Amino acid sequence: MEYDNIECVSSIDGLNEDEIHHHNLHHPNPHHGHHPFSSSKPHNATNNANNSNMVNNIVGATGITPATSVHELLECPVCTNSMYPPIHQCQNGHTLCSTCKARVHNQCPTCRSELGDIRCLALEKVAESLELPCKYYNLGCPEIFPYYSKLKHEAACNFRPYNCPYAGSECSVAGDIPFLVAHLRDDHKVDMHTGCTFNHRYVKSNPREVENATWMLTVFHSFGQYFCLHFEAFQLGMAPVYMAFLRFMGDEAEARNYSYSLEVGANGRKLTWEGTPRSIRDSHRKVRDSHDGLIIQRNMALFFSGGDRKELKLRVTGRVWKEQQNPDAGPCIQNLCS
């Protein structure tokens, strides 16, 4: 992908290096009111005795806390994910998940014996009795779930890491927002700006050679939050278009607290767009393909550029504001900048 011939010129002074600090991932470890590996079964004498015998039969006299040992036993030795029924075992008692059983060609990865179709029913019963913390508990999630409810929660947990919002690079980095801001600045060399208004000029020497995902990204810091301003050229069907849109570096519920507007124009004409920034939980491609932003046809973009229409010179202006609910007045009022 070639985008060296696009330059972004802003009227906003960039952030100084000391204004955005590089943060490593560090999060408080929440203190739960009870042990994170607790049982969801009734704690009468009969059940306690049965569960104790089952755990002791599986774990043995190891001197390790039984709940911790069972949790380790429920970890697949191949993929290290938690195992859910059916849990398979070889004739020597080594276990693995059903997904990995298909990948190891019916051979135990521990002792190399044939796996067959033996189920570890005892371990499946133990799993049913457990309540476990969300795997993002060290990132701040305080929730505890029955063993079989964990996966559904973790897929949508608000504390799960964010994927890098840098478009077109297939970047696999994930982390919290401070970490991603530093990553975008240091590794992707993204321009950083502060303030709730922006004024950018996009220049392309040969706008008739439009390739998919010719793009630019700028990060803005406003209202104590970070926003990603995307501008790119791509083919919409057979027509080349330019598109600008804003994404919020946070969850969707938080993103709805903000609004933004974009405007492009010249020669007494202008196009405007107003909307709500999309969360970076939604991928760049998902937002682009939904056309949720300011879309400019190439002919219109060249008209706005003026001159002989052989060079793209688009100036995109805009602003971000926070919607504040006024309990007396009812409707939302705008907090333009803070």
Q: Considering the domain boundaries, does residue 27 fall inside one?
A: no
Q: Do 140 and 195 fall into the same domain?
A: no
CATH at residue 217: 2.60.210.10
Domain annotation covers residue 206: yes
Between 62-76, 91-105, 127-141, 302-316, the lowest mean confidence (pLDDT) is in 62-76
> How many domains does one find in the chain?
2
Last residue of a domain, one of 91, 121, 155: 155
224 and 258 both lie in a single domain: yes
Residue 278, classified by CB atoms within 10 Å of its CB into exposed (0-12), middle (13-18) or buried (19+), is buried
Considering only CA atoms, which of 147, 126, 119, 133 is closest in space to residue 56?
Answer: 126
Mean pLDDT of the chain: 76
Q: Where residue 128 sits, what CATH number does that domain have?
A: 3.30.40.10
pLDDT band for position 303 (cuts 50, 70, 90):
confident
Give a yes or no: residue 53 inside a domain. no
d(CA 43, CA 47): 6
Q: Are residues 169 and 289 in the same domain?
A: yes
pLDDT digits (tens, 9 = 90+) for 242-255: 899 999 999 999 99
Tell me: do 144 and 271 sit in the same domain.
Answer: no
pLDDT value, residue 322: 93
> In this structure, are 122 and 230 located in the same domain?
no
The confidence score (pLDDT) of residue 7 equals: 41
CA 290, 294, 297, 298 torsion: positive or negative? negative
Given this model, what pLDDT does residue 11 score? 41
Statement to judge: residues 143 and 82 lie in one domain: yes
- Look at residue 43 and tell me if it is in a domain: no
Q: How many Cβ atoms from other residues are within 10 Å of residue 184's Cβ?
A: 25
Kindly state whether residue 281 falls inside one of the protein's structural domains: yes
pLDDT in tens, 54-83: 334 433 333 334 445 677 878 888 998 888
Q: Which domain-ending residue is among 155, 184, 209?
A: 155
**Cβ distance 288 to 236 under 8 Å?**
no
Q: Cβ(245)–Cβ(278) under 8 Å?
A: yes
Sign of the torsion angle spanned by Cα atoms 199, 204, 209, 211: negative
CB atoms within 10 A of CB 8: 15
Q: What is the pLDDT of residues 12-48, one digit of tens each?
A: 433 333 333 333 333 344 444 443 334 343 444 444 4
Residue 114 sits in the same domain as residue 192: no
Positive or negative, the CA dihedral 4, 296, 213, 161 is positive
Beta bridge partners of 279: 248
Q: Give a yes or no: residue 54 inside a domain.
A: no
pLDDT number for residue 228: 95
The pLDDT score that the predictor gives to residue 169 is 62
**Confidence band, pLDDT 50/70/90 cuts, at residue 335:** low
Residue 58 lies in a domain: no
* pLDDT over threshold 60, residue 151: yes
Boundary-marking domain end, from 122, 155, 188: 155
Which contiguous run of DSSP H or E holds residue 185?
helix 177-186
Domain match, 175 and 245 both: yes
Q: What pLDDT is stored for residue 26 in this prediction?
A: 38
Task: Give me the domain span that covers residue 117.
Answer: 70-155
What share of the chain in percent tops pLDDT 90?
33
Residue 335 forms beta bridges with which residues? 322
Per-residue pLDDT of 121-130, as tens digits, reads: 988 888 777 8
